[in-house]
A and B are shown apart, each in its own frame.
Chain A
Amino acid sequence: MTDTRLEPREASDEAPRGRAPARRARFWTLRRTDAATGYLFIAPQLIGVLVFVVVPVGLAIWYSLNEWNIFTGELEYVGGGNYQAALDDPQLPSVLGATAVFSGGVVVLNLVLGLALAVMLNRRFKGAVLFRTLFFSPVVVSVVAWTLVWGFLLQDNGGINGVLEQLGVDGPNWLQSGPTAMIAVTFTQVVRSVGINMVLFLAALQGVPGELYEAARLDGASSRSVFFRITLPLISPTLLLTAIITIVGALQSFAQIAVLTEGGPGLSTTVLVYYVFQQAFSFNDIGYGSTLALMLLTFVMVLTVIQWQLRRKWVFYED
C-alpha cells in the first residue's frame, strides 16, 4: 500500500539529495526509482501490445477505408465504400445468422453442460477424479487433430453412421447438409472446450460455504431450490466470466470451421471469422476483410461491455 515502508538501499542513485529536507528528498527518490523500475518491468508487455495489437487495429481501421488495387498493389482511399459494400453484401446476413446460431448454441450448451458436469463431479465418489480427467482431456488435444477425427467419424460411411446403422438408424450425411453440419461444428466445439468451464465451475462450487447448504437443509429446502437459490447466485461471478470466455472463444472458432466444413455446405457454417479469412486471404480483398474484422471486433467489445454492465445488477456475491 504505502511505498514509504519499502526503503530501497540504492534508492538515491538518480535523485538529488541533501539540499531539500532529508525526508522529502528520500520520498521522491524512492518513488522515482521505483516508478522507473515499474515502467521497465512492464515495457516488454506494453510494447508487445502496442505493436502487435493497437497498431494493427489502427491499420485495420485505415484499410477498411481503402480498396486494395491488385494491379498497382496500392491502397486507394474509398471512404465508406467498404461499409456500403457490407450493407449491400447479399451473403452477409447469412454469415451473421450462422455466427449467431453457432455462438449462441456453443455458449448455451457449454454453460449448461459445464455446470451439470461440475455439479455431478462435485461430490465425493469413486471415479470422480477419473471422470473429471476424461471430460477435461479434449482441452489438451490440438483443435485441428480433434476436428480431423470428428470429420473422419462424421463421414457418410464413417464411424458414427456405422454405429447408427447397427442400431437400425439411417444416419444423415452430417457434413453435407446445412443444419446437420451446423450441429456437427457446434457439438464438436462444445465437447472440446467444455472441460475448461467444468473446472472453473468446480472451483467455484468448492468455494460455496458448506454451512449454507446445512442451513438450507435444516430449513427443509428441496435440492432444486438449494441449487437455484444458493448455488447459482453464489457462483454467478464465475458464470459470467465463463460466459465471456466462451462467447469470445466461439466468435473466434476458425480452425474448427476451416477443417470440418470449410464454411459449407454453401454458406451454412460460414461464420464471421471464417468469412473474414476468405475475403482477406482467399480473395485478397484487404479493405473489405478489414471492415468485416472490425465488425467482429465490435461484437466482442459490445458483448464484453454488456456482460460487465450485467455484472453490476446480476451478480450477488463478489470476493
Chain B
Amino acid sequence: MRTDLAARPAPAAPGRFGPVARRVALYTALIVLAAPFVIPTLWMITSSFKPLNEIFASPPSFFSDAPTTAAYAEAFSFQPFARQYFNSVYIALVVTAITLLVSALAGYAFARIRFPGRNLLFIVVLVGLLVPSEVTIVPLFQMFKQAGLVNTHWPLILVTALAAPCVLATFIMRQFFIALPVELEEAARLDGLGRFGIWWRICVPLAKPALSAVAILTFLASWNLYLEPTVYLTSPELFTLPQALTRFTDPYGGEMWNTQLAAATMTVVPVLVVFLIAQRHFVESLAHSGLKG
C-alpha cells in the first residue's frame, strides 16, 4: 500500500491495466458510443445528394457515385418550402424575444421584489412547467377556434411564448437573480434609480449568461414544435419546418426519401453550425443556468 504512493506515475486509481491500455480503452469506448450520435446526421447529409435509386443501395455506401442536388430543387417545388422556412424562423425569433422580456421581468420580481402572495404566485406559475402541453392542447384548440385563430400562427406564438417554455425561462432567470449580489442594486438605488431602472440598467445587462441560456432553450423549443403546428395549421403555406418535413410523400403515400432528407438537411445544418461555433457557450449556459441541482 505505502509503496504505491511512493511510485510517482501512479495511476489515478488502482486498476488492472496500464495507463496506455486504459487510454486506448477510453478512446475506443467513446468512438463506439459516438457512432449513433454522429452517423445519422452525416448519413442524412450525404444521402440527400444521392439520386433516388441509390438511396437504398446494397451494400450501403456513404457517398454517392453520382451526386446531385435534384432533391433540393424538388423540396422547394413540391411544397412552399422557402415560405415554411421563413415561418419557422420568424416564429422562433418572435417567441424568443417575448420570452426574454417576460421571463426577465417575472424572474427578477420573483427573486428580488417583495409583495404579498409572492411564493404562492410563484407556485402557480411553476404549475405551468408541470402540465404537459399535450394535456392542454385539446381545450386550447377549442379556445383558439372560438377566437377564430385556428390556422394562424397566433397559437404557436402565444402559447410557446407565455406557457411552458417561458415558465422554464422565468425559473432560470429567478435562480440567476437570486444569486446576484444585492449591493449592486443598493448602490443604484442611492444613485436615484427606480425599480424599473435598476432592472433594465443594472440587472438585465448582468444577466447575459442566463439570458443567452433562455434564448437558446426557447429558440430550440419553438423551432422543434411539432404537435402544435400539426393540430392548429392546415394550410401548407402556414406550415413550420418540422411539420413540412413529414409531408414529402408521393400521391401513393410513399416517402420521397431523398427530398425529405434534403429538406431535413436544410433544417438541421444551420442550427448545427451555429451550435458548433458557439458550442462552449451553448453547453455552459445550459449547465450554469440554475438547472443544476
> B103 contacts A45, CB within 8 Å?
yes
A9 vs B197: C-alpha distance in the bound complex, in angstroms? 12
> B279 contacts A46, CB within 8 Å?
no
* B-contact 0/1 string along A255-297, CB 8 Å cutoff: 1001100000000000001001100110000100110011011
Return chain B residues, CB-CB under 8 Å to A248. Answer: 132
57-111 of chain A: CB within 8 A of chain B:
57, 59-60, 63
Q: How far is the CB of A211 from chain B (nearest CB, A)?
A: 15
| A21 is an interface residue with CB less than 8 A from chain B | no
> B47 contacts A152, CB within 8 Å?
yes
Interface SS of chain A: helix
> B292 contacts A238, CB within 8 Å?
yes
101-158 of chain A: CB within 8 A of chain B:
113, 117, 120-121, 123, 125, 127, 129, 131-146, 148-150, 152-153, 155, 157-158
Return chain B residues, CB-CB under 8 Å to A165. Answer: 58-59
Closest to A202 in B: B287
> A45 contacts B166, CB within 8 Å?
yes
Given A149-B44, A200-B292, A255-B242, A6 contacting B185 (CB threshold 8 A): yes
Interface-forming stretch among B66-74, B204-212, B256-264? B256-264
**Could you say which of B130, B136, B164, B280 contacts A301, with CB atoms under 8 Å apart?**
B130
> A137 contacts B132, CB within 8 Å?
no
Return chain B residues, CB-CB under 8 Å to A48. Answer: 102, 128, 158, 161-163, 166
| B201 is an interface residue with CB less than 8 A from chain A | no
> B227 contacts A44, CB within 8 Å?
no
Q: How far is the CB of A269 from chain B (nearest CB, A)?
A: 16
| A178 is an interface residue with CB less than 8 A from chain B | no
Return chain A residues, CB-CB under 8 Å to B218. Answer: none
Return chain A residues, CB-CB under 8 Å to B102. Answer: 44-45, 48
> B108 contacts A277, CB within 8 Å?
no
> A142 contacts B38, CB within 8 Å?
no
> B196 contacts A37, CB within 8 Å?
yes
A255 vs B246: C-alpha distance in the bound complex, in angstroms? 11
> A45 contacts B167, CB within 8 Å?
yes
Given A152-B257, A304-B130, A289 contacting B138 (CB threshold 8 A): yes
Return chain B residues, CB-CB under 8 Å to A55. Answer: 139, 143
> A49 contacts B15, CB within 8 Å?
no
| B80 is an interface residue with CB less than 8 A from chain A | no
| B202 is an interface residue with CB less than 8 A from chain A | no
175-227 of chain B: CB within 8 A of chain A:
182, 185-186, 189-190, 192, 194-196, 199, 220, 223-224, 226-227
Closest to A163 in B: B60
| B29 is an interface residue with CB less than 8 A from chain A | yes
Return chain B residues, CB-CB under 8 Å to A162. Answer: 56-60
| B121 is an interface residue with CB less than 8 A from chain A | yes
> B114 contacts A45, CB within 8 Å?
no
A238 vs B276: C-alpha distance in the bound complex, in angstroms? 26
Closest to B248 in A: A148
Which residue, A59, A143, A145, has most C-beta atoms of chain B within 10 A? A145
Return chain B residues, CB-CB under 8 Å to A169. Answer: none
24-65 of chain B: CB within 8 A of chain A:
26-27, 29-30, 33-34, 36-38, 40-41, 43-44, 47, 56-60
Return chain B residues, CB-CB under 8 Å to A60. Answer: 135-136, 138-139
> B162 contacts A49, CB within 8 Å?
yes
Interface SS of chain B: helix
Which residue, B1, B14, B37, B136, has most C-beta atoms of chain A within 10 A? B37
Return chain B residues, CB-CB under 8 Å to A127. Answer: 27, 30
Q: How far is the CB of A308 from chain B (nearest CB, A)?
A: 11
A232 vs B182: C-alpha distance in the bound complex, in angstroms? 34
> B132 contacts A251, CB within 8 Å?
yes
| B152 is an interface residue with CB less than 8 A from chain A | no
Return chain B residues, CB-CB under 8 Å to A185. Answer: none
Return chain B residues, CB-CB under 8 Å to A318. Answer: 293
Q: How far is the CB of B127 from chain A (nearest CB, A)?
A: 6
Given A34-B114, A159-B43, A297-B135, A49 contacting B167 (CB threshold 8 A): yes
**Could you say which of B139, B166, B220, B231 contacts A290, with CB atoms under 8 Å apart?**
B139
29 pairs from A and B in contact (CB 8 Å cutoff)? A35-B116, A38-B114, A41-B113, A44-B102, A45-B102, A48-B102, A48-B166, A49-B128, A49-B167, A50-B124, A52-B163, A53-B131, A59-B143, A113-B33, A120-B26, A125-B23, A133-B276, A134-B34, A142-B245, A142-B271, A146-B268, A152-B44, A152-B257, A166-B60, A199-B286, A238-B293, A248-B132, A286-B138, A301-B130
Q: A54-B127, A145-B245 are in contact. List 16 more A-B contacts (CB 8 A).
A: A31-B114, A34-B114, A39-B115, A45-B106, A46-B106, A133-B279, A138-B37, A143-B224, A144-B264, A157-B58, A222-B14, A223-B15, A255-B242, A258-B226, A258-B230, A293-B134
